[in-house]
Structure 1
Amino acid sequence: MKKSAILVAHGSPAEPLPQAATMQALAVRVAMWLPGWQIIGATLAQEGALEAALAKADKPFIYPFFMAEGWFTRTNLPRRLAAADHADLIQLAPFGTDPALIAMMAKAATSSPQSKGLLIAAHGSKVSKTSSDTTYEMVKQLERLGIGPIKAGFVEEAPFLADVARDMPDATCLPFFALRAGHVVQDIPQALEEAQFRGTLLPPIGEDIRTAQLIAAALDQAFWDQTQG
Structure 2
Amino acid sequence: MLNAVIVAHGQPSDPAPAEAALARLADEIDQLTDRVRVTSATLAAPGALEQVLEGLAGAAVIYPLFMAKGWFVTSALPKRVDGHNVRILDPLGTDSDLPRIVATALSEQLDQRGWRAVETDLVIAAHGSGRSRNPSLVANSFADKLAGLVPFHSVRTGFVEEAPSISEAARGARETALCLPFFACTGGHVLDDVPTELARAGFRGLQLPVVGELGAVKHRIATVLEAAVTR
TM-score when normalising by structure 2: 0.90
Partner of 1:218: 224
Partner of 2:170: 165
Off by >6 Å, runs of 4+ in structure 1: none
3-state SS of paired residue (1:167): coil
Gaps in structure 2 of 5+ consecutive residues: none
Matches within 5 A, 1:103-142: 103-110=100-107, 111-112=109-110, 113-114=114-115, 116-142=120-146
3-state SS of paired residue (1:210): helix
Alpha-carbon distance in 2 for matches of 1:151, 1:221: 34
Partner of 2:78: 78
Alpha-carbon distance in 1 for matches of 2:188, 2:22: 16
Q: CA deviation at 1:26?
A: 1.7
Alpha-carbon distance in 2 for matches of 1:193, 1:107: 27
Cα-to-partner distance string for 1:142-161 (whole Å, 9 max, x where unaligned): 12213322111111111111
C-alpha RMSD over aligned residues: 1.5
- Between 32-41 and 50-59, the greater mean CA deviation after superposition: 32-41
Alpha-carbon distance in 1 for matches of 2:24, 2:222: 14
Q: CA deviation at 1:212?
A: 2.3
Cα-to-partner distance string for 1:58-96 (whole Å, 9 max, x where unaligned): 2110000111111100110011111xx12x521111111
Cα-to-partner distance string for 1:5-61 (whole Å, 9 max, x where unaligned): 110000001111111112111221222222232211110111111001101122110
Alpha-carbon distance in 1 for matches of 2:224, 2:170: 33
Alpha-carbon distance in 1 for matches of 2:30, 2:42: 18
Partner of 1:28: 27
Cα-to-partner distance string for 1:94-139 (whole Å, 9 max, x where unaligned): 1111122212321333314436211110000001111111111111
Q: CA deviation at 1:221?
A: 2.2
Amino acid at match of 2:51: A
**2:194 paired residue among 188, 203, 207:** 188
Q: Determine which structure has greater relative contact order: mean sequence separation of CA pairs < 8 Å that are 6+ residues apart, divided by chain length.
A: 2
Partner of 1:95: 92
Cα-to-partner distance string for 1:182-214 (whole Å, 9 max, x where unaligned): 110111111111111111111212121223211
Percent identical across equivalent pairs? 39
Alpha-carbon distance in 2 for matches of 1:212, 1:140: 23
- Between 106-115 and 89-98, the greater mean CA deviation after superposition: 106-115
Q: Contact (CA 8 Å) 2:103, 2:150: kept in 1 or not?
A: no
Partner of 2:66: 66
Gaps in structure 1 of 5+ consecutive residues: none
Partner of 2:15: 16
